[in-house]
Amino acid sequence: MLIKVPQKNTPAPSEIASETEYQNRRSFIRSMGFVGASALLGGTACAQENPPETRSLGPLLKSQYSTNQTENSYTDITQYNNFYEFGTSKEDPYENSGQFQPMPWSVRIEGAADITGDFSYEDIIQSHALEERIYRMRCVEAWSMVIPWVGIPLGDILKRFKPTSNAKYVSFETVYRPSEMPGQRRPILDWPYREGLTIEEAMHPLTILAVGIFDKSLPNQNGAPLRLVVPWKYGFKSIKSINKIGFTETPPATTWNDAGPNEYGFYANVNPEVDHPRWSQARERRIGGSLFDAKQPTLMFNGYADEVASLYSGLDLQRNF
Amino acid sequence: MTLAPGKQQIRFIIKPMVFVLAILPLTLLCLRVLGIYGATLGPNPIETVQDYLGIWGLRFILISLSITPAAWLIKKPWPIRLRRMLGLFAFTYCSLHFLAWLVLDQSLDISAIISDVIKRPFITLGTLALLLLIPLAVTSTKGWQKRLGARWTNLHRLVYPAAVLICWHYYWQVKLDTIDALLYCAVLAVLLGVRLWKRKRL
Ligand code: HEM
């Protein structure tokens, strides 16, 4: 089935002008080096002026996999992000993602499966019930959050495409739209962003395709409209704004592994005993704390060892980091 | 402004002005810590404080290092009179950056601190840089300057290796996007380069 994707809405010229002016003002403030001064105006100058609408997602199923740890605030989750497609600082995704148009959206399914082709966002998710999954998220930079995702078990979706016995891995790709994603205009990573899982990891019930946070559709800076969430792996595995999913026989190339093979492995399982070459992974900073909160110990597989450790029995995790 | 202010002008106008400007970043940070005017430290306050103090430490090192070339440029010695104060501000911001790491980030966990200083090369570099800066801050007074005589100048050349270590420290802790760190390295390269060039020509 091939679905023709209509032209994206283009913003009115007046909107473009005000956005440019706003960006200029920001970069002027930045270039003056008055980091503090611009932050002082926080809430006015720093705020995204026209946050794109998020839709309410309706009734959600609860899940046994949700943690009962305290959720981070909506502000923390939507204003402290790593999404290099919109810039490399933590504020960039919030500030620079206003031009991104997630809808309409389509995903190309390819490779070792009986059913392949282009499918709309609605085709992908419509026949599934949405679940709330409150997960811990551990970044490779040693900070963490608790995020109430809304999503669908990835395995339930993948099965509909009838992967063949050759499907040993699943590859994912982020959309490449430098006109809407300013970070992609610099070759800081080898765009488009690519990630991959083994088929067992992809089919694991903890792995979800997320479409929202806090019972609302995903904001652009969190990976609208569709993203992966693999809670026992470092955050960079949970690829955002996915528009391609492939079934492969060999391990797919992944962006961070290509960028730094001795720092970022294919598995990237959260593991307090395997340090990043430049920093320790033994402890993590929980976002949203005060100036005087101590770090907390990082747990094996981010605390999901009971569910996922068996996936890796017999694998040397020191070498396959 | 005339390019050669008198002693009194420097003492009562220029120095206080520079002092106020130099303490401004710290004041702004305090406002954010206290949440005044709705200013905040954001979702990761400890990282914000530590990075902010570190970058201002580096900026003041570079500002201090530009004083001598500035004096050469305008062929007047008076900017040199601002150098000690700016150097001490550099030391203050660097020390506060280190203290933020020690107290806020590491919560004074001695074993974690020692292991990081030994095991993480970028932290080792930062520590070495700070150790090099301590004798410079201590001997910055007129008394020490007199006592050490010609050796004072030699001792204070330690700021060059310290600055190199700091830039390296900054560059090494960046995850991927090193462009900002490289810009600071380039500024340092120019500031050290003009000194070499000047020496060759003498
Ligand atoms: C001697 C003067 C020093 C200067 C000028 C300096 C400067 C800097 C700068 C510019 C950064 C990067 C901030 C950013 O990412 O925006 C940084 C990061 C860092 N510095 Fe220093 N540093 C110094 C000494 C030290 C010392 C003595 C330590 C600890 C022993 C240290 C620990 C750190 C750590 C842990 C980071 C990373 C912070 C993070 O992950 O965000 N620094 N420093």
pLDDT in tens, A184-212: 999 999 999 999 999 999 999 999 999 99
**Residue A271 domain-assigned (yes or no):** no
**Four-residue CA torsion sign, B41, B42, B46, B52:** negative
Q: Is the pLDDT of residue A49 over 60?
A: no
pLDDT for residue A52: 56
Residues of chain B predicted below pLDDT 50: 1-2
Per the structure, how many domains does chain A have?
A: 1
Question: Rounded CA gap, A226 and A217, in Å?
Answer: 9
What's phi and psi for A199, nearest 5 deg? -65, -35
CB A211 within 8 A of CB A226: yes
Rounded distance between C-alpha atoms, residue B118 and residue B100, angstroms: 19
**Residue pair A199/A169 in contact by the 8 Å Cβ criterion:** yes
Q: Does B120 touch chain A (CB under 8 A)?
A: yes
Task: For residue B87, give the amino acid letter.
Answer: G
Stretch A59-64: mean pLDDT, rounded? 95
Of B28, B55, B119, the CB nearest to A40: B28
**A218, A225 in Cβ contact below 8 A?**
yes
Report the alpha-carbon distance of residue A44 to residue B172 in Å, rounded: 34
A39, pLDDT greater than 50: no
Beta-carbon separation of B38 and A75 below 8 A: no
- Determine what percent of chain A falls in helix, strand and coil, rounding each to the nearest 5: 25, 20, 50
Calculate how close chain A gets to B38, using CA atoms only, in Å: 7
Count of CB atoms situated within 10 Å of the CB of B17: 11
- CA dist., res. B62 & res. B90, Å (int): 9
Query: Separation of B60 CA from ligand 1 center, angstroms?
Result: 14
* Closest approach atom of ligand 1 to CA B120: 35
Residue ranges of domains in chain B:
7-201
Model confidence over A270-299: pLDDT tens digits? 999 999 999 999 999 999 999 999 999 999
Mean residue pLDDT across chain A: 88
Pairing of strands A143-153, A227-229: unpaired
**Which residues between 6 and 25 in chain B have a beta carbon less than 8 angstroms from any beta carbon of chain A?**
24-25
What's the ipTM? 0.90
Q: Is B92 helix (H, G, I), strand (E, B) or coil?
A: helix
Distance A160 CA to ligand 1 centre (A): 50
State the pairing for strand pair A194-198/A169-174: antiparallel
Tell me how far apart the alpha carbons of residues B83 and B89 are, in angstroms, rounded to a whole number.
10
Question: Could you tell me which chain B residue has the CA closest to the CA of A188?
Answer: B177
Place of tokens 């551990």: A138
pLDDT at A1: 43
CB A120 within 8 A of CB A287: no
* Ordered DSSP codes for B9-74: HIIIIIHHHHHHHHHHHHHHHHHHHHTGGG----S-HHHHHHHHHHHHHHHHHHHHHHHHHHHHHH
> Is A144 a member of any domain?
yes
Name the strand (E) or helix (H) holding A196.
strand A194-198
Can you give the residue range of the structural domain that contains A218? 23-255
Q: What are the backbone angles phi and psi of residue A192, rounded to the nearest 5°? A: -75, 155
How much is the pTM? Answer: 0.88
Nearest-5° angle of CA B189, CA B195, CA B201? 130
Query: Which residues, including other chains, have CB under 8 Å from residue B90's CB and lie 6 or more apart?
Result: B57, B60, B61, B63, B64, B133
From A35, A40, A287, residue closest to B31, measured CB to CB:
A40
The encoded tokens of residue A51 equal 């946050």
CA atoms within 13 A on the CB side of B146: 3
Q: Is residue A193 part of a domain?
A: yes
Give the DSSP per-residue string, A78-113: HHS---GGG-SSSSHHHHH-TT----S-EEEEEESB
Three-state DSSP class for A93?
A: helix
Question: What residue of A is the nearest CA neighbor of B115?
Answer: A280
Query: What are residue B138's DSSP bridge partners?
Result: none
Evaluate whether residue A277 is within a structural domain: no
Taking an 8 Å Cβ-Cβ cutoff, which residues of chain A contact chain B?
Answer: 33, 35-37, 39-40, 42-43, 72, 75-76, 79-80, 84, 88, 90-91, 141, 143, 188-189, 259-260, 278-280, 283, 285, 287-295
| Inter-chain Cβ pairs, chain A and chain B, closer than 8 A | 84
Which backbone phi and psi does A104 adopt, to 5 degrees?
Answer: -75, 160
- d(C-alpha A127, C-alpha A100), whole Å: 26
Q: What does the alpha-carbon distance between residue A171 and residue A192 come to, in Å, rounded to a whole number? A: 12
CATH number of the domain bearing residue A36: 3.90.420.10
Q: For residue range A155-169, what is the model confidence (pLDDT) as tens digits? A: 999 999 999 999 999
pLDDT at B3: 61
Q: From residue B104, give the alpha-carbon distance in Å to each of A263, B49, B124, B180.
A: 26, 9, 19, 25
